[in-house]
Structures are given as structure tokens and as C-alpha cells.
Amino acid sequence: MVQKIENRITLYTHPASPYVKRVEIALVEAGVDFDRHIIDLFVPRPEWYLREVNPVGKIPAISYGPRAPSNCIMPPPNSFHLCESLVILTFLADLYPQLLPATPIDRARAQFFIAKVEEKVMATWYGVVAIGDIEMEALVNGMRDVQDLLPDPKEGDSEETGYAAGRWSIADAAFMPLLYFVELYMRNDLCVHPVGKGRDAWVEMFEGERFGRLQAYFKRVKARKSWGLMTDEKWMLEFLPQFMAFYGIKRREA
């Protein structure tokens, strides 16, 4: 009798990437046992990674196929490789339907929410924290636009209604890490804008009256077990200055 070989997911990861956290959260929420391999962001990508996994060299990426030997980080032959966090989320939702909302309408809402997160927040995020070519107000306004799609806590708050598209789904997996990183960076004023700009934005988004829906959603997702996947704050605060210095990211003058 030929033994059936179960496919297994290997995630190529780094703890400081919100894109990777999207995939990690979805895998944990789906109850999937998977393997992790950390990719060092301070050195060129290994040749095997560029050749076998992702020729662009970015993370996250996954391999899907027979499990590699325990002492080997290269994917086994004939495994399937995929990159880009939202593409991977879609793939995982096909494998594990519990990651999708229950109805066609809510599934459409989830996809619309993800599109707005990408357009309004993710598209401004890197420009605010690393490049400085986008003003802080654009990030704040983008978060407000996304907030408008979140449930109103005054209308009830349950496992079926308290998330981006009803019950928890890949829409929340797409947003939760970004919310974590925005809150962490802004609260600690880690951005290229003049001193105090990030902290001012944090006060507005996470304490201000205009962002009540966002704050209620933030509280709800922080209570989920998968929130524990977010990288330890102390480690992040030690890593981020090194990362910014390595890539020449400097704060603008007032």
C-alpha cells in the first residue's frame, strides 16, 4: 500500500513584518500546524530562496507540499510556492473555508474591506513611517475611512457581528497586523516625520472621540488568542531603530 503524503505549509517569515503576520494569524485561526523559517532582513536573500521560493526575495512566502526533512530549510521538490500576503490569504481561505464569512454578501464585504485597507492605510503607511513623502494626515484620514466600514458597537457586539464582515475572517487577518504596527509606531513616535507628529496621530486615532469604532474593534481583536502572535513590543523597539539605520531611514526636521 502506498502511504499518503499530507501536504504541509512552510511559512518564510520575519517577526517585524505586518505582511507576514497576516498569514500567521490566518493559519493559527484556521487551526493549522505549519513550519516557520525566519528570513534575515539584514543580509541578501539566499540563492535557494530566490531560486526556489520567491525570485523577488520578499516575505511572506509559503511552500505547500511534502514536509522537508527537519534539518533542511529548503522546500522539497514539487512543492507549490506562493508569495504576496493577500494572495496567500485567498489561497488559505480556499483550503480552510472557516476563514471566510458565512454568506456571499459577507464574503463580498470582506473583500471590499480588504481593498479599502490596502488603498487607504497600507498605501500610506510606508510613506509615513519610512519615506516621508506622505503626510501624517493621510494615514489618519485613511484609518477613518476604514473605520467607517467597521461595526458600530452600539448596535451589538458578538462573535457574529463584531468584526470587519460579520464573524472573524480573512478581512480581519488583513487588518489586525497593520493596526498593531500603526498603534506601536505612532505611540512611540517611530516615523520620519518631525518629533511629536506620530504621537499626536496616536492620540487622535486611539484616544480621540472620532475613532470610537476603531477603538472598540481594536479592543475586540486584542482579546483574540491570535493577537498573541504579534511580536513582543520590547523586541520591536530594539529592532526598529536598527532596521531604520540599516536602510538609511532618517527623521525629517520640523
Q: pLDDT tens digits for 9-54?
A: 999 999 999 999 999 999 999 999 999 999 999 999 999 999 989 9
Residue 4 has pLDDT above 50, yes or no: no
Q: How confident is residue 3, by pLDDT bands cut at 50, 70 and 90? A: very low
CA 243 to chain centre: 18
Residue 2 has pLDDT above 50, yes or no: no
How far is it between the farthest Cα atoms of the chain? 72
Burial 178-211 (b: 16+ CB within 10 A, else e): bbbbbbbbbbebbbbbeeebbeebbebbbeeeeb
Residue 169 has pLDDT above 60, yes or no: yes
- 60, 35 in Cβ contact below 8 A? no
Between 145 and 243, the more confident residue is 145
Report the amino acid identity of residue 224: R
Given this model, what pLDDT does residue 253 score? 66
- 167, 105 in Cβ contact below 8 A? no
Given this model, what pLDDT does residue 157 score? 66
Determine the Cα–Cα distance for residues 1 and 22; give it in Å rounded to an integer.
Answer: 39
| Cell 484609518 found at | 143
Residue 252 has pLDDT above 80, yes or no: no
Given this model, what pLDDT does residue 204 score? 97
Q: Which residues contact 242 (CB under 8 A, 6 or more apart)?
A: none
Given this model, what pLDDT does residue 73 score? 72
Q: Which candidate, 10, 39, 41, 4, places its Cα nearest to that of 27?
A: 10
Given this model, what pLDDT does residue 216 score? 94
Q: Which of 63-72, 73-82, 165-174 has the largest mean confidence? A: 165-174
CATH superfamily of 8-97: Glutaredoxin (3.40.30.10)
Determine the Cα–Cα distance for residues 195 and 180; give it in Å rounded to an integer.
Answer: 21
Q: Where are the domains of the chain?
A: 8-97, 101-246
Lowest mean pLDDT among 33-37, 116-120, 131-135, 206-210: 131-135
Q: Which candidate, 40, 11, 32, 15, places its Cα nearest to that of 180?
A: 15
Q: How confident is residue 161, by pLDDT bands cut at 50, 70 and 90? A: confident
Q: Which candidate, 76, 61, 50, places its Cα nearest to that of 17?
A: 61
Instruction: Write the class of the CATH domain 101-246.
Output: mainly alpha
Strands of 61-65's sheet in order across: 35-38, 8-13, 61-65, 80-83
Q: pLDDT tens digits for 145-157?
A: 999 999 988 776 6
Residue 194 has pLDDT above 90, yes or no: no
Q: Directed axis angle between helix 212-222 and helix 197-207, to 10°?
A: 80
Between 160 and 205, the more confident residue is 205
pTM: 0.92
